[in-house]
Amino acid sequence: MQLGGLVVEEMQLMEGMGTGCSEDTPARREEECWGTQGLAHWGGGTTPPGISHSSGLHRLSGVCPGLLPPPFPANRLPAGNTFLAKGSATLDKLKDLCNEGKEHPSTLWQFYAQAVLDITYFEENQLVNEDFPEESSLQKVKELICILSEPEDLVRECNINEKPINILGAELLECLYWRKGALLYMYCHTARERSRWLRENIAVFKQCLNDGVHYLMKMLSFRCPLQLNEDVSLQDKDTARLLSEGIFSDTHLLAMMYSGEMCYWGLRHCGNGKQESLETTDPVSNSDLACRSQSVPLDFRETGKNMLTKYVAVCEGPLKDQGWNTATAKHMLCYFMKSQN
């Protein structure tokens, strides 16, 4: 399935940034680039100040049994589905740790976040394989976004004095926000091809775009760009340039492209909308996109232009000759400029 613009050809060329994602499948790339390594980097340590051990265990014990999708209880998982099996195993381990009451709360939250990522990935793949059924997919997208928001929400509920990034770590939070933004990107790519649906649901479409871009921008904000050091050797200049732009993986670069493309769709189908409040103009805002709708309207033109300008500069700079195609991004940049004039 083509997910939009230049995405397919670029997803086949992601090895250029050295992430170690060698096999050309989205599942393998997700697992290696954004999977269990987050736990390896952030597990353990002392109990963060302010977190309530007992309340955290109680909340986790309450949500764990309901995380697996209803058709697939733990003892009847679809054969051969790696991610659902991994998520179920992680939940079982997490429940055991909660019952023991000895593990650091931060580690428990990270296990829970990993289970959420694995299980929702299975369900997202189902939606993609079914081409986002028109009658039911929007509700499923809402539910998945709520579930992907749960780890951060639960940390906030149980830990008033500590930020989620100090409990879950930057990598897991980036992955949670990437998954929310990429899910809305895929949904919007499919929905915009359904002309009748688009005419009748333009406010919903606009809200999806607005939320998706917000999630991806948040994903890009968790790690600060690294400042270039004058002592950097010549062979490290390209890597240093990428890090100074806040690009730590190919997924960060894709997030820029996805954001720019969604802004392009927004400007073409919905107008810029920067003077409008989504809370007052969109009927979807009261029921919102499940529990996580972003009410602040985007300036599609400026946001898209900024994202794609940076994307093109990186692809034609430090990633030149690495196979990243900028033709579609340049076409969209031209549209932004013409619409402004």
321/318 Cα distance (integer angstroms):
9
116/144 Cα distance (integer angstroms):
10
Residue 87 pLDDT class (50, 70, 90 cuts): confident
pLDDT tens-digit map of 276-302? 444 433 334 434 454 555 667 889 999
- More confidently predicted of 334 and 279: 334
User: What local confidence, expressed as pLDDT, does residue 136 receive?
Assistant: 94
User: What local confidence, expressed as pLDDT, does residue 287 receive?
Assistant: 41
Give the domain ranges of the chain: 28-191, 202-341
192/197 Cα distance (integer angstroms):
8
24/17 Cα distance (integer angstroms):
14
Is the predicted pLDDT of residue 214 greater than 90, yes or no? yes
324/250 Cα distance (integer angstroms):
10
117 neighbors 93 (Cβ within 8 angstroms): no
314 neighbors 247 (Cβ within 8 angstroms): yes
Residue 307 pLDDT class (50, 70, 90 cuts): very high
**For residue 324, what are its two tokens?**
């990243």
Question: The tokens 């402004």 sit on which residue?
Answer: 340
Other beta carbons within 10 Å of 119: 24
- Among 134-138, 271-275, 315-319, 329-333, the least confident range: 271-275
pTM of the model: 0.75
122 neighbors 87 (Cβ within 8 angstroms): yes
pLDDT tens-digit map of 20-33? 232 333 333 333 33
Is the predicted pLDDT of residue 156 greater than 50, yes or no? yes
Query: Which three-class secondary structure string do you get for the chain?
Result: CCCCCCHHHHHCCHHHHCCCCCCCCHHHHHHHHHCCHHHHHHCCCCCCCCCCHHHHHHHHHHHHHHCCCCCCCHHHCCCCCHHHHHHHHHHHHHHHHHHHCCCCHHHHHHHHHHHHHHHHHHHHHHHHHCCCCCCCHHHHHHHHHHHHHHHHHHHHHHCCCCCHHHHHCHHHHHHHHHHHHHHHHHHHHHHCCCHHHHHHCHHHHHHHHHHHHHHHHHHCCCCCCCCCCCCCCHHHHHHHHHHHCCCCCHHHHHHHHHHHHHHHHHHHHHCCCCCCCHHHHCCHHHHCCCCCCCCCCCCHHHHHHHHHHHHHHHHCCCCCCCCCCCHHHHHHHHHHHHHHC
Residue 52 pLDDT class (50, 70, 90 cuts): very low
Q: How far is CA 292 from CA 149, 174, 246, in A?
A: 8, 16, 25
User: What local confidence, expressed as pLDDT, does residue 275 receive?
Assistant: 43
What is the phi/psi pair of residue 185, to 5°?
Answer: -60, -50
Mean pLDDT of 103-120: 86
47/204 Cα distance (integer angstroms):
42
Which residue in 221, 108, 83 sits closest to 167, CA to CA? 108
pLDDT tens-digit map of 130-141? 999 999 999 999
User: What local confidence, expressed as pLDDT, does residue 62 receive?
Assistant: 54
Most confident of 100-104, 118-122, 227-231, 259-263: 259-263
- Among 41-45, 158-162, 210-214, 269-273, the least confident range: 41-45
Most confident of 45-54, 62-71, 221-230: 221-230
101 neighbors 140 (Cβ within 8 angstroms): no
User: What local confidence, expressed as pLDDT, does residue 172 receive?
Assistant: 95
pLDDT tens-digit map of 233-285? 545 677 777 877 778 889 999 999 999 999 999 999 998 655 444 443 333 44
Percentage of the chain with pLDDT > 70?
65
Which residue in 235, 158, 149, 182 sits closest to 30, CA to CA? 182
Q: How far is CA 318 from CA 237, 241, 254, 321, in A?
A: 8, 7, 15, 9
User: What local confidence, expressed as pLDDT, does residue 36 receive?
Assistant: 28
- More confidently predicted of 187 and 155: 187
Residue 113 pLDDT class (50, 70, 90 cuts): very high
233/308 Cα distance (integer angstroms):
29
Burial 52-84 (b: 16+ CB within 10 A, else e): eeeebbebbeeebeebbbeebeeeebeeebebb
- More confidently predicted of 146 and 48: 146
